[in-house]
Homo-oligomer: A and B are copies of this chain.
Amino acid sequence: MELNFDKGDGLLPAVIQEFGTNKVLMLGFMNAAAVQQTLETGYVTFFSRSRNKLWVKGESSGHLLKVREVRVDCDEDALVVVAEQLGPGTCHEGYHSCFYRRIEAGNLVIVEPRAFDPEKVYGNSSHSSFPAARPPGQARQE
């Protein structure tokens, strides 16, 4: 098996799709080591572009993503990882999916309820520097 990491400077986009519902939970990037670790451990591992290191999704929250299937696209430069979500939500903002907002007439509108309280889950860990979340139903106008 050969994957093409060249187009993305050593990184592939990896779509995480929830087993059973087919919902897209998040999108992250993997380098070759992250792909290998994901396949070997059975838990989704990304390469964090901001922290410049491997990152096991859920290592802080316990909301790990357990791999059920890995799909590869025609150009071998993108992955879909079908996974079980071990926890109430994947998003650090407390939502089931990171894609909890929809574009409506140029605004971002929250269209899913919060699944958990990120303060309680992430507490004062490194995730506490994330921006404060807006309540469901509130549009963001920029």
User: Taking the complex as formed, is A135 at the interface, i.e. its CB lies under 8 A from any CB of chain B?
Assistant: no
Interface band, chain A: 35 or more
Task: Check A7–B70 contact: CB distance below 8 A.
Answer: no
How far apart are A50's CB and chain B's nearest CB, in angstroms? 8
User: Taking the complex as formed, is A33 at the interface, i.e. its CB lies under 8 A from any CB of chain B?
Assistant: no
Task: Check B78–A27 contact: CB distance below 8 A.
Answer: yes
In the bound complex, what is the Cα–Cα distance between A50 and B101 (angstroms)? 30
Residue interface bits A29-51, CB-to-B below 8 A is 1, else 0: 00000000001000000000110
Q: Which of A1-45 contact B (CB under 8 A)?
A: 1-2, 7, 13, 15, 17, 21-24, 26-27, 39
> Interface on A for B, CB 8 Å cutoff?
1-2, 7, 13, 15, 17, 21-24, 26-27, 39, 49-50, 69-76, 78, 80, 91-93, 95, 98-103, 106-108, 140-142
